[in-house]
Structure 1
Amino acid sequence: MKRLNTLILCISLILSNCLFAENSCSTLAASALKADVKTAFKLGSLFKNHMVLQRDQPIPVWGKAEVGTTITVNFADSEKSTVVDSNGKWRIDLNALSASFEPKTMIISSSVNEEEIEISDIVVGDVWICSGQSNMEMKVGGIPEIKALIPKSSNIRSFTVKNTVAFEPQDTCEGTWKNEQPNSAVAFSFAYFLQKSANVPVGIILTSWGSSSIEAWMPREMTKTVPHFKTIMDEFDADVETKNRLKTILDGPKPWSRKDDVFLRRQSNILYNAMMYPLVPYACKGLVWYQGERNTRSMHGMATKPWFSRNSGMLKYGETLKEWIKSYRKSWNNDSMHFMVVMLPGYGKILDSGKDINSENPNAHSWAWMRESQLKALELPNTSVVNTIDLGDVKDIHPKDKLPIGKRLALLAMDELLKSDTKSCGPILKKTKIKGNTIVAYFDYAEKLKTKDGKAPTAFWLADDSKKWFPATAKIKGKTVVLHSNKLLKPKYIRYAFTAKPEVNLVNELDLPVYPFRTDTFQP
């Protein structure tokens, strides 16, 4: 019996050793295979020939390489090195530089096989990201007065991000820097007037797609701060049919059909993953945002039909916009990153949810409510809103009067660059005073109030607690406007330019229009 037990023990030891040997071999094979898989040495998508670097800020340069590799960046008589982290990623922050038209070359080298990447024709100036939907996308060729600026322009470069989507944030995107203007009427006219005023190279990174909502450009992290966005993303995660269709489109033939293209761009989050996340944290002065039309399909948001109306709506847009700005600043680690929002211009369409179907009435559910939401961006520091209340087309959601928008953007950008106390914007309501049967409106940024046509100011409405609005008679008195209505003995509230397509004429000494406003808190 003792001999039998000894025999069994010997057999067990032999089998255990064999199993150990087999596992060891498998582990060694897996390790060898893993060792053969090396991260290729490459840069972030924006680091290419002809790029523009942001002046007066530290300049992040990043990419991927084999773990443990030493990466060295040599640029503008400066050299910095770092070691690639355990995820195969690296980043080096170059020292801030002054603006320069002189083209320079950047050399990024790897200690593995002494690999080098050379980027040539680099200038230093002001970089702006221009994003949004179709009115940001509108081409230069469709606006004759903007197209005429091309021969006069110089020192403008552009990088256009290719339109696509992704389920997860992507490290790279498709696009190249070109030594020419962006093919966006708003972005180019902005760059043109900014370059002339600042006299530095201007780089525009254009990432926009028609029909996209603000939710399309929101990172998943915003589900923690925006409740309706969490609902949207929870629904998306559970929607197997939609995700399968998206995969089929992305894996299928290109170019996409019109139907598929529209289906892609009207989704939430996945545009951000593919078209904005790869830009982080490229040094820039700020971001120009011309978007909002997609979010005007309802007042309160999260409409069930059609499916692409599942968004903030007009009333939630303002708080969503502020959270969006804060989220981007956090991603870029730059609290002073400037955001310029282009207000939606005049447009005659109103929602059929309004009790008053007259688009000229300030109670109508018109774009006036979206403009009010967009102006909430001003509650954050380092923000501007371009007033377009005197622009637009009553019947066309894609108006052609883009040149004034470019000029006004450049004026506001110069305010930011110069940190000027005198703002290059239209008058903004400061306060009101009730005096008998009149209300007096006081304005900031109004050294001189006047009307463009020499007539009395238009587009003012008055109301009392009855919530009934009546057109007001308006008269300029110094830096104020005095208002009254024969229909009201004791007016209490003002709405100005608070209709779908108001006819306005009140401007300041710069011929810039007064921003729309309301002093009541009535809920629509």
Structure 2
Amino acid sequence: MRTSQASRRPVRCFRFAVLFAVAMSQPAYGELQLGSLFTDHAVLQRDMPVPVWGKADPGATVTVAFAGQSKSGLVDGDGKWRVDLDPLKANVDSRDMTVSSTKHSDEIVIADLLVGEVWICSGQSNMQMGTQAVKEIAALVPEAKKIRGFQVNRTVSFTEQESCEGNWEVGPPNSAVAFAFAHFLQQSDDVPVGIILSCWGSSSIEAWMPRGMTESVPHFKTVMQEFDADDETKQKIQSILAGTKPWSNQDDVFLRRQPNILYNAMMKPLVPFACRGLVWYQGERNTQSMFGMVDSPWFSRNSGMLIYGDVLKQWVTRYRKEWNRDDLHVLVVMMPGFGVALDSGPSKDPENPIAHSWAWMRESQLKVRELPGTGVSNSIDLGETKNVHPKDKLPIGKRLALLAARDTLGQAVEADGPVVSQVVTAPGRITVHFEHADGLTTSDGKPPTGFWLADDSKNWFAASAAIEGEAVVLSNDGLSHPLYVRYAFSGKPSVNLVNASGLPAYPFRTDTFQP
């Protein structure tokens, strides 16, 4: 008997157990079942082994047939099975996958599968912002013929889950950034693109961290110790999950600002689905302090801006371990311009380089590039002074797609804006040399802006700037011996330096002054 994927009874993700543990409600092992991401209309990753997994009666042999392949695996004593399909070529033609078991009369048929590029898109509210919120991106929807999305339903769990709720849909994901990225990536290589969208506004990076990271991240160990000891919070979480939906906004916010439990419910179930990589647009929640772990408000128990970069690198490394993929590519969206600065700093001026602004978060985010297989989409020329949810998302999608096209598809495209490579000091001037600076110019035809100079006094002065080839020469009449440069190092800098591809120069500083 053949059972289509569409007709299978939905699996409810969560039930409540004693001691405040939330465990997945699963059918009996005797029922042949597949992992959550294997539904009709799925996109499978090309050019790498494709794991297919699920549950069945222990001792049974499960066979997966797709695209001319037939792979079999034995169900273990826990009722789990997995087979790996050989690498698949990109294909726009709809095909079915058949899964059968020696101990079951039914076979599962997953219909209308494509093969192409698959990416997970995660983060907080700026990743969650819907496609229709940005008219330029919404206008691209009619062109999305080969883009499909799987949106992970937003919920939490005290324990790591194997399944989640969601279905592949024929059409783009409801995320302006994720869809824009998928659109331009699909345009660059003309293959299907699948986006797995797993995001939730207001969430910190700690919300998306597996508990095992307490072994390597000291502040996260403290956070989880506090969480484990907080019976009132756990009871409230359990009560919300057991209650009616939709949740109130207050309850929704309470859930998404907790540590670890988003990872358990919304990321762990995706492992080990074959994908090219992950796009990460998150950081706003971790900008509430410089040094992290402040006491109030309660949801400020996180890394803060200064150690976020080191945490992010460990987070990427841990995710690669989860997928057992050192080549899992990670693209990070740099925080765009935003004019709010912390009270802890010496200035609240959104363009002052000494303010405790998002400049420090951007510096932290850029540390991820110390790891191979990573990239940062520069958005320093974007954003709004007083709006944490700016609408200029189209350039972010374009720049992410350029990074992916160059670094994962091997295309010969310029994907970075100018990056500082050398700084030469001389009496009365500093010359900054750049890489990725072919055709170095400004977007408005005016002299470069956003540069500041200082000497050992630590006093910063706005610099006069002039382009010379692939370098910028800086000076200030008040500084006879400038030693240090900061560029675009403020909350909402005014910047115009770009290369011939129109990509903005990356922020940087050459000093080591402490904030």
Kindly tell me: are residues 93 and 358 of structure 1, through their superposed partners in 2, closer, same or farther at Cα, counting changes over 3 Å? same
Structure 2 Cα separation of the partners of residues 37 and 310 of structure 1: 40
Residues 1:433 and 2:404 are matched in the alignment: no
Structure 2 Cα separation of the partners of residues 274 and 228 of structure 1: 22
- The alignment-based identity, stated in percent, is 61
| Match of residue 306, structure 1, among 288, 297, 301 | 297
Per-residue deviation, 1:114:
2.9
| Match of residue 252, structure 2, among 261, 264, 276 | 261
Residues 1:455 and 2:455 are matched in the alignment: no
| Match of residue 137, structure 1, among 120, 128, 138 | 128
Give the corresponding residue for 2:462: 471
Unaligned runs of 5+ in 1: 1-35
Aligned residue type for 2:84: D
Give the corresponding residue for 1:21: none
| Match of residue 80, structure 1, among 71, 83, 100 | 71
Give the corresponding residue for 1:290: 281
Per-residue deviation, 1:225:
1.1
Per-residue deviation, 1:421:
6.5
Per-residue deviation, 1:37:
6.5
Instruction: Give matches, 1:20-169, under 5 Å.
Output: 38-169=29-160
Instruction: State the SS of the aligned residue for 1:246.
Output: helix
CA contact (8 A) 1:350 1:365 kept: yes
CA contact (8 A) 2:382 2:392 kept: yes
Structure 1 Cα separation of the partners of residues 141 and 497 of structure 2: 32
Per-residue deviation, 1:437:
1.6
Aligned residue type for 1:189: A
Instruction: State the SS of the aligned residue for 1:418.
Output: coil
Structure 1 Cα separation of the partners of residues 84 and 72 of structure 2: 10
CA contact (8 A) 2:496 2:504 kept: yes
Give the corresponding residue for 1:25: none
Structure 2 Cα separation of the partners of residues 38 and 378 of structure 1: 44
Structure 1 Cα separation of the partners of residues 505 and 28 of structure 2: 61
- The number of residues matched between the two structures is 489
Instruction: State the SS of the aligned residue for 1:141.
Output: helix
Structure 1 Cα separation of the partners of residues 348 and 104 of structure 2: 72
Structure 2 Cα separation of the partners of residues 152 and 108 of structure 1: 33
Give the corresponding residue for 2:270: 279
Provide the TM-score with structure 1 as the length reference: 0.92
Structure 2 Cα separation of the partners of residues 39 and 429 of structure 1: 60
Aligned residue type for 2:410: K
Higher fraction of helix: 1
| Match of residue 210, structure 2, among 213, 216, 219 | 219
Residues 1:416 and 2:397 are matched in the alignment: no
What is the CA deviation profile of residues 173-222 of structure 1, one whole-angstrom value per residue up to 9, with x for unaligned ones?
A: 00000010111100111111111111000000000000000000000111
Unaligned runs of 5+ in 2: 1-26
Aligned residue type for 2:330: F
Aligned residue type for 2:467: I
Give the corresponding residue for 2:233: 242
Give the corresponding residue for 2:179: 188
Structure 1 Cα separation of the partners of residues 190 and 411 of structure 2: 17
Instruction: State the SS of the aligned residue for 1:204.
Output: strand
CA contact (8 A) 1:127 1:285 kept: yes
Instruction: State the SS of the aligned residue for 1:326.
Output: helix
Instruction: State the SS of the aligned residue for 1:430.
Output: strand
Structure 1 Cα separation of the partners of residues 132 and 104 of structure 2: 48
Structure 1 Cα separation of the partners of residues 426 and 191 of structure 2: 51
Give the corresponding residue for 2:306: 315
Instruction: State the SS of the aligned residue for 1:228.
Output: helix
Instruction: State the SS of the aligned residue for 1:314.
Output: helix
CA contact (8 A) 1:47 1:119 kept: yes
Instruction: State the SS of the aligned residue for 2:408.
Output: helix
Two-structure CA RMSD over aligned residues (Å): 1.1
Instruction: State the SS of the aligned residue for 1:125.
Output: strand
Residues 1:363 and 2:354 are matched in the alignment: yes
321-330 vs 147-156, which moves further: 147-156
Structure 2 Cα separation of the partners of residues 119 and 279 of structure 1: 18
CA contact (8 A) 1:297 1:309 kept: yes
What is the CA deviation profile of residues 300-337 of structure 1, one whole-angstrom value per residue up to 9, with x for unaligned ones?
A: 00010000000000001000100000000010111111
Structure 2 Cα separation of the partners of residues 99 and 240 of structure 1: 50
